[in-house]
Structure 1
Amino acid sequence: MPEIELLLDCRAIIGESPTWFAPGEALYWIDVKAPALYRLSVDGVQAQWRFDADIGAFALVEGAEGAIVALRTGIFRLDFSTGETCQLAPPPFDSNLFRFNEGVCDAEGRFWVGVMFDPRPGVAAETAAAPLHRFTLVEGLVAGDDWSDLHNGFAWNLEEDAFFLSHSHARSILRAPYDRARGRVGKPSSFAEIRTEGQVPDSAAVDEEGCYWCAVHGGGVLHRYDRSGRLISQIALPVSQPTMCAFVGPDLDEMVVSSARDKLTEDQLKREPQAGGLFRLRPGVRGLSRPCIVR
């Protein structure tokens, strides 16, 4: 088993979306409920940008001078130098009931963003679903065909002709045909399932062998699946709520795992005081370079 190192004791409420930006040798991530976007450079310098609404995902803009951030209140452009935001698209849902959740770029710079049914405090409503969207600076926000009350697990296979995603509340990991030229996600089919009550598939990554890595929220473990969806290995973590795994470093031979402390009781927090931290390990396999620039 690889050694698990606490990279940063950031105690995020819901830490998410660790993203390695190779040209700048920096790691970016978010805390959904802080809400904030963070950057950690290899020299240890940290930066943060705070928002007035939940952040569900982000992508960098060309030159990493800023980012596109998916907030509960819409899609915004963030200027890193000033901290100012400018709305590019209104929320495509009732923001009292939904927020964006999960977001990754494909190789063409399309920013795919999912949703989560997450009513604001004091708002009562029956659970509902909303569609997956893609965003580009040219097209804006465009709705897709996949609907869920909690999207997660976005990644592409080695050939980039299949798109992975999870419907977390259904505990299902899905695989759909992907048309890279047109940016179209086909009809998904079952890839794998998490069968243990209280455990759900969260965010993911793909390695150089085409295997799919998934953070199992509530299970305190990383799952690695082969190309057929067969579970081939597990890595136990020191926290029960890992949220995403991402390959990082110049050789993409390290992995960073984000985590959450949201909804943990006082007793649980005593048992896992590092909950909400960022963790680092060497998984024994290299990952794929993951696009993070929206176009």
Structure 2
Amino acid sequence: MDDLSRIRTFIKVVDAGSFSAAARHEFSVSSVARQVKSLEDELGIRLLNRSTRHLSLTEPGRLFYERAVAISNDLNTAKREAASFQGNVKGLLRVSLRISAGACAIVPALPKFLEQYPELTVDVSLTDERVDLIANNIDVAVWSGDLPNADIVGRQLSPSRRIVCASPAYFARAGTPAVPEDLKRHNCLLFKAPTHADIWLFERDGVSQEVKIDGNMQSSNGIALLSGALAGLGIIVVHEWMVRSDLEQGRLARVLNDYVVRPTTVEAPVHVVFPSSQGMSLKVRAFVDFLVQLFREPGLGPAVQRSTKA
């Protein structure tokens, strides 16, 4: 019998006034008496004065009873508070996000998410490294690539459509490409990485086309290229979710909407993940559902009108 069970039995005996009354609904009288005797033996003191008709607390028994009742009440309160998290999304949620997804898509969408869950606080870290979720006390993360082992549970986010876009100022100055071949006459901002080349791939009606592009800016950082595009420097190929708010606000305009833009290499899937040992709490579930909805591609609206300068 564990300590907590013996202490609770002792409290019941005192409150009920006898062993038989305490045992009425759950235990035998002998079982109740053994638990109290075991507690006294461990403490090395007598908690109760016993007679054939009456029980009374000894002085140390009274002190122990008062502290035991306080502890039991605190434990019940703690259990109720913990259980309340099953009915409400609340508390602190620690998340680790890939830099581009976090800065460009997830963090800008947090106000609406937190408006829905006003008792929740989100602690955000941005990194493209896969941090140890358990060691760093991370509740949920966004990773790129396959899941490493069974200790991590994940849900793949919807693959994002790539789009071709630039600022309205750039198109006003340089004209608007009508077909992929037109990109050869434009300043294209190139993502630089070992797995990426200066080739953009397009497909329409089952026909694929490669276009060799050129431009005066290249970077291994997608946010840097996005900043260049927003500043009117040139055209980029980018995930739709990365520029959704810029498209909605008119800071960027898309072109070549009739074409599917293909990656030059097989892309690693993007997952929202959490430690399997922690399970999917309500706050984690709410955040996962939020990300799934966020990365689900909406209608992209009309493409920019083609000018006569191209």
**Coarse TM-score class (shorter-chain normalised):** under 0.3
User: Which structure has the greater CA radius of gyration?
Assistant: 2
TM-score, normalised by the number of residues in structure 1? 0.23
TM-score, normalised by the number of residues in structure 2? 0.22
More strand by proportion, 1 or 2? 1
